[in-house]
Structure 1
């Protein structure tokens, strides 16, 4: 019983860490969650953000676009193209069987996975942005970088 509690506690910690890791704003750096960006040409970038919800992914991509804009000494950015991709995660039931042998002992285990939440989804927002200086153009695709950061920083 002691071993069962220890394994259950460890699994709970791992589950909570996995959930928390997908929500914090960060660079992807080998993880599937977070942002990546690529300079296409002077004043033009591709920004991608992957998260567990559309709102977090959208806000993360806008925040990264604003950071790039200010870092490169521009004042606004215009979203030239935007794409949102949703992918279902988990959701399937599974059964696993394992066994081991050691000196004088043999063990067999059976595990059953039944997802209780029906799975989730990963959402990726991809934007191509064009940077600009001076007054922000009118229109829903142009953003003042300083305002975006002020509003989206946690």
Structure 2
């Protein structure tokens, strides 16, 4: 019994550690993090890259540009033009710091006194075991969140138009091989086990 609990705890830590990394350059997985592309016409594609909350905006946009260049070369073209480009920031605020109240850290939550549904037992003093206020029930064993944190997840998308031959002298055009050469060192690929 103790071994199975230890194994479950270690497995949970491994999964938590795996989730706490920047999104690598890869095709989108079930979690929807990574790149996706869709062909619109013969030489026109819609490309996007979505990162997790640990992936910053610059990395997401770099991976998008790299994917556009890589796709251009895979389709047999030499350069591409960015027709449309957009980066969305999905923001949400989450509470952090839930846990035992530091003033009551040596007390175990005893349901004989505290009640089965988290209500105060009528036999104990409300100031010590909890009280009902106009803001709700105060639980001395599991306090309120200490702080809030904003989580931002970026997703960049672009529509590209591919072409053959030398790149036109226009900043909207990119030479695919030059992009691959210049950005290749900044690309973090997934670890192979």
TM class, shorter-length: 0.7 to 0.9
Is 2:163 the counterpart of 1:132?
Answer: yes
Residues 23-72 of structure 1: CA distance to partner in whole angstroms, max 9, x if unpaired?
21000032221000000001000001011221111011111111110011
Which TM-score applies when normalising by structure 1?
0.75
Paired residues, what number?
Answer: 140
For structure 2, the residue ranges without an aligned partner over 5 or more in a row are: 99-117, 119-140, 188-193
Instruction: Work out the CA distance in 2 between the residues paired with 1:148 and 1:34.
Output: 19
Q: Which moved more, 1:65-74 or 1:9-18?
A: 9-18
**Structure 1 alignment gaps of length 5 or more:** 96-107
- Matched with 2:179 is 148
CA distance in 2, matches of 1:138, 1:112: 62
In 2 relative to 1, CA 14–136 (structure 1 residues): closer, same or farther, beyond 3 Å? same
What is the rounded CA distance, in whole Å, between the counterparts of 1:91 and 1:5 in structure 2?
A: 29
Does the residue aligned with 2:149 lie in a helix, a strand or coil? coil
Q: Secondary structure at the match of 2:20?
A: helix
Partners of 1:120 and 1:12 lie apart in 2 by 21
- Alignment pair present for 1:60 and 2:63: yes
Give the Cα separation in 2 of the matches to 1:47 and 1:128. 6
Post-superposition offset of 1:5? 10
Corresponding residue of 1:87: 90
Greater gyration radius: 2
CA contact (8 A) 1:83 1:125 kept: yes
